[in-house]
Amino acid sequence: MNFSVTVLGSNSAIPTLQRNPSAHLLNANERLFLIDCAEGTQLQLRRYKIHFQRIKHVLISHLHGDHFYGLIGFLTSLHLLGRKDELKLYANPELKQIIELQLAASRTSLSYPLIFHPLLSNNKELIIDAERLKVYSFPLLHSVPTHGFLFLEQHHSAMRMRHARSYAYCSDTSYCEDIIPFIHGVDLLYHEATFLHGMAKQAHEKFHSTAFEAATIAKKARVVKLLIGHFSARYDDLQPLLNEAREVFPCTELAEDGKKFDILPVTPNTFSENC
């Protein structure tokens, strides 16, 4: 059964022709979750042949444009394509009015129910409790209210011997050890690494992390694999960011647009790639 993450965008702040800003797609046993939705995400979904209408849940980490400016276009395209199934949206409460105002301006009444769930908690909170998956939000440390997300596979009692797979998404955040209990031991941790550590001062001023810091969190949280992303547009070559992280935490990969990471169910802590 599938448990995979597809990177739809790996840049911070400004879209470039090489890297779109933040969006990830989690496929958890054929349930599709869209996590963040920067401008251009709907085109990325087309590019990587992911069927829009199969997405049932959208989670927005925070209201910086590089994480949600593509949402209204995505919601509108679902409508224009005739969606009937409800869509659940988890985000900062301010997003509701932003969406409603834009739909009102275009005199659009969506063809499907859009169920809005405000993210309000300053603690770990269970936000989705589905048959075979639990999703939690937890606070990150950024310049505006920001949530990370933890996806945790659930097994029926008959399947308890199997490893329950997990994925955590942490963008954007300063280096923050408070998040370690929320992400401890996950199979795959996505943690932003906007800058190289030589720019740690700028990173802290902007409430972002360096590759070194992302790797330090991964190490302290004893995760299986680290995925770094949200790269500053100043870096054409990402290898130095990867090298910096791997010095601290060898099992690190670069988030690159279109790359898919499979988490295997066979045994605990096993990946399709060597680590």
Q: Which residues are catalytic?
A: 66
Nearest CA to 35 among 97, 119, 79, 91? 91
How far from 256 is each of 2, 105, 201, CA to CA, in Å? 20, 36, 25
Is 104 or 130 the residue whose CB approaches its own copies more closely?
Answer: 104
Q: Which of 8, 13, 28, 221 binds its own copies (CB under 8 A)?
A: 13
Q: Which stretch binds its own copies (CB under 8 A): 27-35, 60-68, 159-167, 178-186?
A: 60-68
Q: CB atoms < 10 A from the CB of 127, how many?
A: 19
Binding of its own copies by 97 (CB under 8 A): yes
Query: What does the per-residue mask of binding to its own copies show for 164-183, with x meaning CB under 8 A?
Result: --------------------
Binding of its own copies by 29 (CB under 8 A): no
Output the smallest distance, CB 63 to its own copies, in A: 4
Is 117 or 155 the residue whose CB approaches its own copies more closely?
Answer: 117
Binding of its own copies by 80 (CB under 8 A): yes
Binding of its own copies by 111 (CB under 8 A): no
Binding of its own copies by 69 (CB under 8 A): yes
Contact by Cβ (8 Å): 42, 23: no
Output the smallest distance, CB 2 to its own copies, in A: 25
Contact by Cβ (8 Å): 32, 55: yes
Output the smallest distance, CB 79 to its own copies, in A: 10
Q: Return d(Cα 35, Cα 115) in angstroms, integer.
A: 16
Nearest CA to 64 among 89, 99, 38? 38
Contact by Cβ (8 Å): 89, 60: yes
Is 110 or 164 the residue whose CB approaches its own copies more closely?
Answer: 110
Q: Which of 9, 27, 35, 40 binds its own copies (CB under 8 A)?
A: 40
Binding of its own copies by 36 (CB under 8 A): no
Q: Which stretch binds its own copies (CB under 8 A): 8-16, 82-90, 175-183, 265-273?
A: 8-16
Output the smallest distance, CB 198 to its own copies, in A: 21
Nearest CA to 153 among 162, 166, 168? 166
Binding of its own copies by 203 (CB under 8 A): no
Binding site for its own copies (CB under 8 A): 13-17, 39-40, 42-43, 46-47, 63-65, 69-70, 72-73, 76-77, 80-81, 92, 94-95, 97-98, 101-102, 104-107, 143-144
